[in-house]
Structure 1
């Protein structure tokens, strides 16, 4: 008698996760290098046995990431870097490597090139990138070669995850590539630019309204189904 409620509960849970993803997208619409996300809905059929009809259940446990490139905005900053095309910067946080498209870097007291959060930018070999303190002219070529005062120092490493569809967001603009990464064959880095978020706020608000309507529809169905079951029990008690 409750076969309709359990599938709807699974659907409602997935819609709630989708709503949370949309809210995160809207909140980060102006975050440099942010990649919009969503949830992937899947279906599996439950065998109820004993000749009973099967039950179709829906879940949304898999996160998806929109890898579409965001708009490139000129800033003129020497350590503002944007990737044109495929690839991710590698940064080190507490000994663990993460991927990001957020290229707003700066130099620390020791000359290390870091993110605003203090994560070290890594070169193609996985080592932190340094610029000698007091350097005047800092130049980053299209292939990622970093020079200071005319002297090549390092090549910024760009990588792609082996399985882009399995990128796992850890925080904001940081991702983990659980299946590993491969170097980008033809990297393209622009100095003095930053990549904007690829979130379209208007489309996200439209998605939010659609998800909200679907959630309310499911809620109304469960209320009606609950009343139907209660009515059956009341009749049985008479």
Structure 2
């Protein structure tokens, strides 16, 4: 007994190079499970495979059930798993966005997916989910006044340059302060760099500190340094390094479209309401995939019970 054309082990959508009765056939990634289920309706093929697994005595064996289960369920499981895995990662991103709603200059992250189409020869499409990674939304947050001397916001596409002791990093979070050595640092302790890539020292002698729109820090007539602000052509190449810090392989260029505002901070660009709405959508989608897999499991049990019984012969 030979298999119908839709189940032969040849061609780009074949089950595999070895699809003998004594082996479990593994489906090609793009082979639709609905197409397999349709082929299983061809009774002569099932009878022949049942006979091969049972030795012709008509008694259903675990080997036959395992073979049939692998054929029918494998792609349904993979499709559901691909979607559930994507939803799980998206849930993590949404939760992280919500947790950083109050983090200064935090940038919202979203997941990027695309379908991997499965040819089922049917109107209904069952597609794998391809995870392409994470996108950072660099839309600026709003600028909120704080009246604090060392709070600085950037109006424009620029980034401050800071140093964590290993490499330069970039941030739009201008919530600065002084360390015990009177060096200007970020809230996490990274040194804030001047236009010569050196730390900035602020003397505590009672003089008023002013920061001009071009980044010049002065105490009365004395210039203490100039905040280094840079811009980038391709923000898509920037990688998050925790909180509101970024790294990139692109060489920075001097800021020409940015100006600074002392006594202001940029807020997070996360909308808590939008993220909570997305959280509900993720939960509903996850439940939908679970229901699909539950129904497929029940259909499998019914198929094995009917097609593997002596009456099928």
TM-score (ref. length: structure 1): 0.89
* Cα distance, 1:207 vs structure 2: 1.1
Map residues 44-193 of structure 1 onto 2, 5 A cutoff.
Answer: 44=116, 56-134=127-205, 136-193=207-264
Query: Quick one: structure 1 residues 182 and 219, their matched pair in 2 at CA, closer, same or farther if it must change by over 3 Å?
Result: farther
* Cα distance, 1:45 vs structure 2: 5.4
Match for 1:226 among 297, 300, 313? 297
4+ residue runs of structure 1 moved beyond 3 angstroms?
43-47
SS, match of residue 86 in structure 2: helix
* Cα distance, 1:218 vs structure 2: 1.2
SS, match of residue 217 in structure 2: strand
For residue 7 of structure 1, what is the aligned residue in structure 2? Answer: 79
Greater Cα offset, 127-136 or 76-85: 127-136
8 Å contact 1:161–1:167 — kept in the other structure? Answer: no
SS, match of residue 241 in structure 2: strand
Number of positions where the alignment pairs a residue of Structure 1 with one of Structure 2: 233
Match for 1:24 among 85, 89, 96? 96
Hey, what's the Cα distance between the residues in 2 that align with 1:178 and 1:57?
32
8 Å contact 2:208–2:219 — kept in the other structure? Answer: yes
* Cα distance, 1:55 vs structure 2: 7.7
SS, match of residue 4 in structure 1: helix
More strand by share: 1
For residue 36 of structure 1, what is the aligned residue in structure 2? Answer: 108
* Cα distance, 1:157 vs structure 2: 1.5
* Cα distance, 1:82 vs structure 2: 0.5
TM-score (ref. length: structure 2): 0.69
Based on CA coordinates, which of the two structures has the bigger radius of gyration?
A: 2
Query: Quick one: structure 1 residues 118 and 46, their matched pair in 2 at CA, closer, same or farther if it must change by over 3 Å?
Result: same
For residue 122 of structure 2, what is the aligned residue in structure 1? Answer: none
Hey, what's the Cα distance between the residues in 2 that align with 1:205 and 1:94?
37
Hey, what's the Cα distance between the residues in 2 that align with 1:94 and 1:227?
58
Hey, what's the Cα distance between the residues in 2 that align with 1:61 and 1:147?
47
RMSD of aligned C-alpha atoms? 2.2
Q: Deviations over 1:71-116 (max 9, x none)?
A: 1111111100001121111111122221111111011122210012
For residue 51 of structure 1, what is the aligned residue in structure 2? Answer: none
Q: Deviations over 1:33-87 (max 9, x none)?
A: 111111111344589xxxxxx9842133411111111111111111000011211
Hey, what's the Cα distance between the residues in 2 that align with 1:87 and 1:162?
11
* Unmatched segments (≥5 aa) in structure 2: 1-71, 120-124
Hey, what's the Cα distance between the residues in 2 that align with 1:78 and 1:160?
24
